[in-house]
């Protein structure tokens, strides 16, 4: 064995990089494993990352407890103070941070900024970083788990742990190896993302439109007169968007948003990714737990994927920190406690997001009238709006 660990975290994305130091602070010996190099991202102040996240107040509080939130450059963060949502027949609903008693509904942060804030915490907490290796096999027994790591050049090494956490994304190798599988259900959509400069200021307002064609267009505020776009579009439409040159794409996006911010100018190349719903029969196995996109898949219309992941991290770290006489971090009683703690929040978010996609998908005139009437009614009842918005604030 190359070394014995209490926990081996597979995947050094944002969720894995948050989990590793959180577990180390709970007194556990942790290894963080990734197939790529674990290094600080390159940063150019004149450019913007296409990958941005809407960090909820709950996630921001957790990241602050780790010490990561304080490391983010404030000039690269933008608060969402208002969310304006339009149905496909003129109905609207608006959420206000002030009405919710929050400083912001969410904060838009670049992926590279979050990574740069988390990486120093990983090294400072004493986590063993094992990068540029591929996971080759997993053998779990009642006593522990052995992981075979394939290094560049063809050599192998074996790592022993008492718990393996799969934080390795939507195509999780750990999930497959542990037999915790389910077939993702494609939405038949792709998320097209890009950033734009705007003619007019956004004033901290995020905008979202449910289209009659089944697409969902979101504009998220970036610092200055800039926005980040997420257009969840049917696959054929997404292909058309990706084929447009920069001026044509900017014109198309501006028109789709009713020129709410005037003319747009593309400032980052567009990218696209397939959208799918994933609900597993279980997110824990024998000495294995899944977190983040490895554990669940949600539609990006509410921007909650990474927040669910940070919620997983916070819950697992808390359960293992409070393990008491159950000193073994892979003990079934602890993993079951973690699974129960996350079942409700994940189910609630999946139900809301999947339900909205399906509600606004069909073109049936009767259903179109019903859903738009529902939006208008909810907008008139502050208590209902709070109930609808609360899961996204946690």
Tell the residue number behind the tokens 């005037």, with chain if given.
262
Instruction: Using DSSP, state whether 93 is helix, strand or coil.
Output: strand
Structure tokens at 214: 């089944």
* Among candidate residues 348, 246, 226, the one with its CA nearest the CA of residue 298: 348
At 366, the pLDDT band (50, 70, 90 cuts) reads low
Distance CA 197, CA 334 (A): 48
CATH topology of domain 4-43+115-183+278-356: FAD/NAD(P)-binding domain (3.50.50)
- Phi, psi for 393 (deg, rounded to 5): -90, -20
Instruction: Using DSSP, state whether 245 is helix, strand or coil.
Output: coil
Q: What proportion of the chain, given as a percentage, has pLDDT over 70?
A: 97
Q: Who contacts 339 (Cβ-Cβ below 8 Å, separation ≥6)?
A: 282, 283, 284, 289
Distance CA 52, CA 54 (A): 7
Residue 252 buriedness (CB in 10 A; 0-12 / 13-18 / 19+): middle
CATH 3.50.50.60 segments of the chain: 4-43+115-183+278-356
What confidence score (pLDDT) does residue 261 get?
98
Distance CA 54, CA 220 (A): 8
pLDDT in tens, 379-391: 776 766 676 777 7
pLDDT in tens, 184-243: 899 999 999 999 999 999 999 999 999 988 899 999 999 999 999 999 999 999 999 999
At 3, the pLDDT band (50, 70, 90 cuts) reads low
Average of per-residue pLDDT across 154-179: 95
Q: What proportion of the chain, given as a percentage, has pLDDT over 90?
A: 78
At 88, the pLDDT band (50, 70, 90 cuts) reads confident
Tell the residue number behind the tokens 């792709």, with chain if given.
190
At 286, the pLDDT band (50, 70, 90 cuts) reads very high
Structure tokens at 120: 């120093």
Distance CA 295, CA 293 (A): 5
Instruction: Using DSSP, state whether 32 is helix, strand or coil.
Output: strand
* Domain boundaries 52-111+187-275+360-393, corresponding CATH code: 3.30.9.10
Structure tokens at 73: 């450059």
What confidence score (pLDDT) does residue 124 get?
97
Q: Is 27 left (phi over 0), alpha (psi -120 to 50) or beta?
A: left
SS (H, E, C) 338-374: HHHHHHHHHHHHHHHHHHHHHHCCCCCHHHHHHHHHH
Q: What global pTM score does this model have?
A: 0.94
Distance CA 70, CA 99 (A): 26
Window from 63-67, 131-135, 382-386 with minimum mean pLDDT: 382-386
Task: Give the C-alpha distances (Å, rounded to integers) separating 186 from 183, 229, 278, 357.
Answer: 9, 21, 9, 12
CATH 3.30.9.10 segments of the chain: 52-111+187-275+360-393
Task: Give the C-alpha distances (Å, rounded to integers) separating 145 from 139, 157, 208.
Answer: 6, 14, 45
Tell the residue number behind the tokens 């149905």, with chain if given.
87
- Per the CB < 8 A criterion, the answer to whether 223 and 76 are in contact is yes
Average of per-residue pLDDT across 169-191: 94
Window from 253-257, 301-305, 334-338, 345-349 with minimum mean pLDDT: 301-305
What confidence score (pLDDT) does residue 374 get?
76
SS3 content of the chain, % helix, strand, coil (to 5): 40, 30, 30
- Per the CB < 8 A criterion, the answer to whether 389 and 99 are in contact is no
Tell the residue number behind the tokens 């509410």, with chain if given.
302
Judge whether residue 12 has pLDDT over 70. Answer: yes
Judge whether residue 163 has pLDDT over 80. Answer: yes
Q: 106-110 and 128-131: which strand pairing?
A: unpaired
Distance CA 147, CA 157 (A): 8
Judge whether residue 351 has pLDDT over 50. Answer: yes
* Among candidate residues 41, 39, 46, 113, the one with its CA nearest the CA of residue 74: 113
What confidence score (pLDDT) does residue 362 get?
64
Q: How is 102-142 classified by DSSP, letter by letter? A: -S-SEEEEEHHHHHHHHHHHHHHTT-EEEESEEEEEEEE-S
What confidence score (pLDDT) does residue 52 get?
96
Judge whether residue 13 has pLDDT over 80. Answer: yes
- Phi, psi for 115 (deg, rounded to 5): -65, -45
What confidence score (pLDDT) does residue 382 get?
73
Q: Which is higher by pLDDT, 50 or 326?
A: 50
Work out the mean pLDDT of the chain and round it to a whole number.
93
Structure tokens at 255: 């028109």
What confidence score (pLDDT) does residue 121 get?
98
Q: Is 238 left (phi over 0), alpha (psi -120 to 50) or beta?
A: alpha
Average of per-residue pLDDT across 101-118: 96
What confidence score (pLDDT) does residue 1 get?
39
């Amino acid at each position: 064995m190359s070394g014995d660990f209490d926990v081996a975290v597979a995947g050094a994305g944002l969720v894995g990089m948050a989990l590793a130091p959180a577990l180390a602070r709970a007194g556990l010996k942790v290894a963080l494993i990734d197939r790529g190099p674990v290094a600080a991202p390159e940063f150019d102040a004149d450019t913007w990352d296409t990958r941005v996240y809407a960090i909820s107040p709950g996630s921001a509080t957790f990241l602050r407890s780790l010490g990561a939130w304080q490391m983010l450059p404030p000039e690269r963060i933008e608060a969402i103070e208002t969310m304006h949502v339009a149905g496909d027949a003129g109905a609207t609903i608006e959420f206000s941070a002030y009405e919710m008693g929050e400083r912001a509904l969410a904060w838009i942060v670049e992926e590279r900024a979050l990574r740069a804030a988390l990486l120093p915490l990983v090294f400072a907490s004493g986590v063993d970083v094992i990068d540029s290796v591929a996971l080759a096999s997993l053998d779990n027994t009642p006593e522990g788990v052995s992981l075979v790591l394939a290094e560049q050049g063809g050599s192998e090494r074996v790592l022993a742990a008492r718990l393996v956490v799969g934080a390795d994304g939507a195509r999780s190798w750990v999930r497959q190896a542990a037999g915790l599988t389910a077939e993702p259900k494609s939405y038949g959509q792709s998320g097209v993302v890009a950033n734009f400069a705007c003619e007019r200021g956004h004033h901290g307002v995020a905008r979202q439109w449910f289209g009659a064609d089944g697409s969902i267009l979101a504009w998220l505020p970036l610092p200055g007169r800039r926005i980040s776009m997420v257009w969840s579009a049917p696959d054929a439409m997404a292909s058309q968007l990706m084929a447009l040159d920069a001026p044509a794409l900017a014109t198309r996006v501006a028109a789709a948003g009713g020129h709410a911010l005037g003319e747009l100018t593309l400032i980052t190349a567009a990218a696209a990714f397939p959208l799918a719903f994933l609900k597993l029969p279980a997110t824990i196995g024998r000495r294995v737990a899944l977190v983040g996109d490895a554990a669940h898949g949600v539609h990006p219309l509410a921007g909650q994927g990474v927040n669910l992941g940070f919620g997983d991290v916070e819950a697992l770290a808390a359960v293992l920190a409070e393990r008491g006489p159950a000193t073994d971090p892979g003990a079934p009683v602890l993993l079951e406690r973690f699974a129960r703690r996350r079942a409700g929040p994940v189910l609630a978010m999946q139900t809301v997001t999947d339900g909205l996609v399906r509600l606004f998908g069909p073109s049936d005139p009767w259903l179109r009238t019903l859903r738009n009437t529902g939006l208008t009614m909810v907008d008139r009842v502050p208590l209902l709006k709070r109930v609808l918005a609360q899961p996204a604030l946690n």
